[in-house]
């Protein structure tokens, strides 16, 4: 297996002397050591690591010129592409905090994140897939001043500037190329000084996640944490210098940004960017670009295996698959190994752990790969504990707790939620239920926080429930996951109509579709007169799940 850049024994980056574990240092080392190696492929665009570093410096200069200061929040709302890469790396390189936004989010969801994070600068691919993102924002944000005065989006007073990353300009925003020209007067020495001033302990990014309250929380992680975690991840999964990595996982997610972009910088791998997953397009890229590494959710591999275009593509270069985020059937792992990848690795993590907790063994048998998520990455601890936080013996079930350098710094502007997630001894309470085997392998068996995983994306039932409850004809709602052959599981909503109100399943689904990302929208709705509850009034979702398993619908569905 090829060594990381610089052949550092601890997996860090070196060029004769130790470098700090920061993102700008990663990029500088890659440009210095493998500057002529291809860094990314985005359609017809092909950039070396040297070109990438130059483009990031150019964007960093523009951010300095526009007044972005260390600690400012910079949001990127865009699909996978070179401009996302440049904007994100430039933001963290000047000491700002990157706040990615899911491209599937509607205006209300994005507005919440922008307002909560107090984002100063938004870079958005307005018009991606025909979506007018700025119109969504302006419709969702409650006006606080007359249009044309104050910030570019009334209702978001901290948002001072919007830059459009696509090919079209938009009212109230600056086109990306025009924005870059603003940095022409910033000296190279000043850019270098800002990049060198970034420290390992500085906050690098804030990926938003949700909890049982249904409202997103910004998990803050530092430069040093991220670099160290993905040094360990890269070594664990076997990412090599010169690998050609098809990036299907979105850059707005830790799987795409950290296990994709940052890991590729660490190892000197080439990213081939795919903005929207399409199985036929992915197969063509694997063939044309000689792809060796393809991480993704289990549904991605099932789509490739069964697509009719597979027989027309040369897939012989594929070596490594890295998956997780959902239950992986043993039969799928066996097919992946026999028909696509010699090496299949399962990893486990969550946003609050920089995206990674454990990594599996590439040489394990299919049963082990499918039913366990590996061992804790080097330098971190994992235990399975009872309700009082006491470690359980090997083989016994409990909540998975994590401690080490991969645990987030905290939730932005939410000390109460931080204290609830990370205890006084530094243990992150994941909300996942698991079993730790005697050999150190971890098996995840359930989710305390009721999180659903739909096609690799987390869905938080409380958020969907709160939205449905805003429908004028709805009294209450409960959301659970039900099995789905393609996506693993999808949402089903149980809805109690208001007294005297008339509502049907299709109306509820359409109400959600207009306001939520499509993976959150319930695929079925069951109208009920009441929900099962315990003595304290809490809805007993396990009863609903048992009814699903028994084939009991309980009401009308769509």
Closest CA to 22 of 193, 188, 194, 201: 201
Position 211 scores a pLDDT of: 46
Which helix or strand (DSSP H or E) is residue 431 part of? strand 428-436
pLDDT at 444: 86
- Do 26 and 172 belong to one domain? yes
Residue 193 inside a domain? The answer is yes
Segment 499-510 mean pLDDT: 92
- Tell me: the pLDDT tens digits for 163-218? 999 777 788 899 999 999 999 999 999 999 999 999 999 999 999 985 444 678 99
Residues above pLDDT 90, as percent of the chain = 66
Longest dimension (CA), the chain: 76
Do 297 and 425 sit in the same domain of this protein?
A: yes
Number of domains within the chain: 3
Amino acid 533: pLDDT = 78
DSSP class per residue in 311-324: GGS--TT--EEEE-
Beta bridge partners of 423: none
Q: Does residue 479 sit within a domain?
A: yes
What is the pLDDT, as a whole number, of residue 329?
73
pLDDT at 552: 65
Q: What percent of the chain has pLDDT over 70?
A: 91
Region for residue 92 given its phi and psi (left: phi exceeds 0; alpha: psi -120 to 50; beta: otherwise):
alpha
d(CA 356, CA 306): 29
pLDDT at 469 over 60: yes
Of 222-231, 361-370, 409-418, 422-431, the least confident: 361-370
Tell me the residue length of the chain. 558
Residue 233 lies in a domain: no
254 lies in some domain = no
**Residue 126 banded pLDDT, cuts 50, 70, 90:** confident
Q: Count other C-beta atoms under 10 Å from residue 100's C-beta.
A: 25
Q: pLDDT value at position 168?
A: 73
Whether residue 107 sits in one domain with residue 63: yes
- 42: closest CA among 94, 77, 78? 78
Provide the pLDDT for residue 4.
Answer: 43
Distance CA(182)–CA(236), nearest Å, equals 42
Residue 369 CA to residue 330 CA, distance in Å, equals 8
pLDDT of residue 128: 85
CA distance 491 to 470: 18
Type and span of the H or E element at 546: helix 541-550
Same domain, yes or no, for 395 and 486?
A: no
DSSP β-bridge partners for residue 432: 447
> Of 339, 428, 330, which Cα lies nearest the Cα of 372?
330
Whether 223 maps to a domain, the answer reads: no
Say if residue 321's pLDDT is above 70: yes
If asked whether residues 539 and 421 sit together in one domain, one would say: no
pLDDT at 131: 84
What's the mean pLDDT in 456-483? 87
pLDDT of residue 13: 46
pLDDT digits (tens, 9 = 90+) for 362-397: 889 988 988 899 999 999 999 999 988 899 999 998
Q: Are residues 110 and 75 in the same domain?
A: yes
If asked whether residues 415 and 529 sit together in one domain, one would say no
pLDDT band of residue 118 (cuts 50, 70, 90) is very high
Strand-pair partners of 222: 203
The pLDDT, as a whole number, for residue 326 is: 53
Of 177, 194, 217, the last residue of a domain is 217
Neighbouring residues of 403: CB distance < 8 A, sequence distance ≥ 6: 380, 381, 425, 426, 427, 428
Side-chain-side CA neighbours of residue 200 (13 Å): 10
The reported pLDDT for the residue numbered 539 is 81
* Structure tokens belonging to residue 46: 């092909």
What local confidence, expressed as pLDDT, does residue 17 receive?
Answer: 44
557 falls in which pLDDT band (50, 70, 90)?
low
267 in any annotated domain: no
Predicted confidence at residue 65, as pLDDT, reads 98
552 close to 520: Cβ distance less than 8 angstroms: no
In a domain, 238, yes or no: no
Specify the pLDDT at position 214: 60
Confidence of residue 3 (pLDDT cuts 50, 70, 90): very low
Give the helix/strand (H/E) hosting 496. Answer: strand 488-497
Average pLDDT for 552-558: 56
Mean pLDDT to the nearest integer, 522-544: 83
pLDDT, average across residues 150-170: 85
CA 23 to CA 37: how far, in whole Å?
18
Q: Are 434 and 289 in the same domain?
A: yes
pLDDT-derived band of residue 64, with 50, 70 and 90 as boundaries? Answer: very high
- Residue 534 confidence class, pLDDT cut points 50, 70, 90: low
Helix/strand/coil for 399 = strand
Final residue in a domain of this structure, among 380, 414, 447: 447
Do 460 and 430 share a domain, yes or no? no
Going by C-alpha positions, the residue among 478, 475, 472, 513 that lies closest to residue 492 is 478
Q: Of the candidates 212, 116, 207, which has an alpha carbon nearest to the alpha carbon of residue 414?
A: 116
The per-residue pLDDT of the chain, averaged, comes to: 89
78: CB partners within 8 A, 6+ apart: 84, 87, 103, 123, 124, 125, 128, 165, 251, 252
Residues 396 and 466 in one domain: no
Same domain flag for 410 and 357:
yes
- Tell me the mean pLDDT in the region 76-101: 97
- Domain stops at, among 217, 234, 267: 217
Distance (Å, whole) CA 153 – CA 511: 25
CA distances from 181 to 96, 174, 343, 523, 554 (A): 20, 11, 45, 47, 61
Q: Is the pLDDT of residue 2 over 90?
A: no
What's the N-to-C CA distance of the chain in angstroms? 51
The answer as to whether 258 is a domain residue is no
pLDDT given for residue 167 in this prediction: 73
Beta bridge partners of 210: 216
Lowest mean pLDDT among 6-20, 61-75, 367-381, 543-557: 6-20
Whole domain around residue 541: which residue ranges?
452-550
Q: Which of the two residues, 75 and 545, has the higher pLDDT score?
A: 75
Other CB atoms closer than 10 Å to residue 109's CB: what's the count? 22
- Rounded to whole angstroms, the Cα distance separating 327 from 333 reads 11
364 & 494 share domain:
no
pLDDT at position 9 over 60: no
pLDDT of residue 97: 98
Structure tokens at 448: 């305390």
Q: What CATH number corresponds to the domain at position 527?
A: 3.30.300.30
- Helix 49-65 with 82-93: angle, nearest 10 deg: 60
Please, which contacts does 31-37 make with residues 24 or more away whose CB atoms are closer than 8 Å? 33/5, 33/6, 33/268, 34/5, 34/241, 34/268, 37/241, 37/242, 37/268, 37/270
The pLDDT of residue 154 is 82
CATH of the domain at 160: 3.40.50.980
Stretch 280-301: mean pLDDT = 94
């Amino acid at each position: 297996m090829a060594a990381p850049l610089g052949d550092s024994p601890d997996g860090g980056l070196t060029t004769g002397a130790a470098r700090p574990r920061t993102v700008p240092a990663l990029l500088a080392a890659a440009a210095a050591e493998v500057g002529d190696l291809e860094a990314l492929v985005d359609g017809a665009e092909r950039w070396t690591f040297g070109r990438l570093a130059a483009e990031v410096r150019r964007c960093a200069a523009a951010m300095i010129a526009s007044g972005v200061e260390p600690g400012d929040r910079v949001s990127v709302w865009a699909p996978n592409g070179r401009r996302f890469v440049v904007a994100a790396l430039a933001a963290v390189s000047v000491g700002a905090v990157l706040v990615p936004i899911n491209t599937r989010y509607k205006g209300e969801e994005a507005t919440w994140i922008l307002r909560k994070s107090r984002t100063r600068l938004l870079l958005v691919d307005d018009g991606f897939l025909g979506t007018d993102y700025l119109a969504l924002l302006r419709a969702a944000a409650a006006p606080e001043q007359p249009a044309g005065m104050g910030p570019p989006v009334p209702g978001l007073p901290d948002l001072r500037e919007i830059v459009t990353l696509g090919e079209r300009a938009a009212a109230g925003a600056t086109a990306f190329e025009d924005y870059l020209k603003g940095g022409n007067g910033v000296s190279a020495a000043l850019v270098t000084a800002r990049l060198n001033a970034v420290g390992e302990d500085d906050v690098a990014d804030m990926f938003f996640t949700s909890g049982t309250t249904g409202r997103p929380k910004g998990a803050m992680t530092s430069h040093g944490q991220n670099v160290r975690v993905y040094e360990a991840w890269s070594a664990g999964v076997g990412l090599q210098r010169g690998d050609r990595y098809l990036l299907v996982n979105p850059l707005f997610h830790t799987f795409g940004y950290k296990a994709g972009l940052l890991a590729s910088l660490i190892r000197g791998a080439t990213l081939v960017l795919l903005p929207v997953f399409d199985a036929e397009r992915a197969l063509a890229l694997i063939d044309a670009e000689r792809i060796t590494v393809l991480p993704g959710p289990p549904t991605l591999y099932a789509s490739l295996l069964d697509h009719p275009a597979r027989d027309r593509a040369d897939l012989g270069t594929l070596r490594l698959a890295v998956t997780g985020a959902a239950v992986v059937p043993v039969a799928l792992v066996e097919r992946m190994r026999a028909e696509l990848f010699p090496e299949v690795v399962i990893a486990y993590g969550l946003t609050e752990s920089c995206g990674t907790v454990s990594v599996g063994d590439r040489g394990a048998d299919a049963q082990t790969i499918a039913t366990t998520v590996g061992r804790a990455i080097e330098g971190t601890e994992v235990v399975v504990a009872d309700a009082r936080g006491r470690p359980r013996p090997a083989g016994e079930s409990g909540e998975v707790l994590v401690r080490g350098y991969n645990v987030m710094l905290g939730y932005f502007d939410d000390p109460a939620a931080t204290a609830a997630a990370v205890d006084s001894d530094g243990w992150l309470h994941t909300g996942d239920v698991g079993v730790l085997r005697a050999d150190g392998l971890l098996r995840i068996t359930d989710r305390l926080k009721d999180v659903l995983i739909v096609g690799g994306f987390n869905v938080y039932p409380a958020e969907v429930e709160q939205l449905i409850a805003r429908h004028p004809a709805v009294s209450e709602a409960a959301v659970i996951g039900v099995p789905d052959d393609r996506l693993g599981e999808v949402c089903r909503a149980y809805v109690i109509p208001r007294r005297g109100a008339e509502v049907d399943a299709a109306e509820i689904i359409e109400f959600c579709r207009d306001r939520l990302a499509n993976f959150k929208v319930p695929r079925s709705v069951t109208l009920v007169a009441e929900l099962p509850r315990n003595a304290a009034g809490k809805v007993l979702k396990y009863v609903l799940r048992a009814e699903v398993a028994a084939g009991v619908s309980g009401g009308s569905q769509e």
